[in-house]
Amino acid sequence: MKADTTAVFVVETINWTFAEDHETVHHNQYFAVGLPSAIALASKIIIETVEVAEDVTCIRKASAEETQQFLKVSDHIDLIMPQAITDQQAGAL
């Protein structure tokens, strides 16, 4: 089976850490492009949040609406972020 490296995936988590009344939980959604990236992101969350009780609940393919929202935000960020400098430009610094 070939890994899907172009579709947008959602990593969903439940965070119990900030539940003041121990009944409220926070549902978080993180986005990744490609299944390998989503698995890597979920692994990172599991490793980094072992102390704060944020549990990965699922990795799923984003809906068409979620994909469009992700791509819109991603395009906006690409427009406002400065381009990375080249190795040649860095060497001249």
Q: What is the pTM of this model?
A: 0.75
Within 10 angstroms of residue 37's Cβ, the number of other Cβ atoms is: 16
Q: pLDDT tens digit string along 59-86?
A: 999 999 999 999 999 999 989 998 888 8
Task: For residues 40 and 23, give the distance between their C-alpha atoms in angstroms, rounded to a whole number.
Answer: 30
